[in-house]
Amino acid sequence: MEYNESEFLIETIVPKNELIISRTDLKGVITYVNDTFAQISGYEEEELIGNPHNIVRHPDMPKKIFRQMWEKLQNKQKWEGVIKNLRKDHGFYWVHAIISGVYKDNHLVEYKSIRTPITYETKLKYQKLYDQYRNIDKENIRRVVYS
């Protein structure tokens, strides 16, 4: 799917004191969202349930971040970090996320994610960091392709 770069310029601010909550099955398919997640993402609850959680993955997010996240989760650890998400209307929103496994009788049954707002300064810091990560990824691809 092709996007116009200007579509990605409209930010939705996550209100203070709001929690965005979701749960997924072990393959990352959404099984639950709270109303705040639906409102902030611009989707209806029915549009989110049954879809992969990466429906809200913003193209600015470096793959490295998600590799780190899955590595932690597979080692039964929680992952915590800053994420820029994509809205249905191609706008975006930033959150601090805590993602962890849910265990029953010592067996992993699902993942839960709780997200909260972040400050403007934190957004700037992470946008710069993620831009650097993506540039490193592009350089590595160029080296492999042109070597």
- Map residue 120 onto helix, strand or coil: helix
The end-to-end CA distance of the chain, in Å, is 30
pLDDT tens digits, residue range 121-131?
Answer: 999 999 999 99
pLDDT tens digits, residue range 8-64?
Answer: 579 999 999 999 999 999 999 999 999 999 999 999 999 999 999 999 999 999 999
Domain of 141, CATH number, reads: 3.30.450.20
pTM of the model: 0.85
Closest to 45 (Cα-Cα) out of 116, 114, 36, 92: 36
Q: Range of 56's domain?
A: 5-146
How many domains does one find in the chain? 1
Q: Which residue type is seen at 120?
A: Y
With a CB cutoff of 8 Å and minimum separation 6, the contacts of 86 are: 8, 56, 57, 58, 59, 92
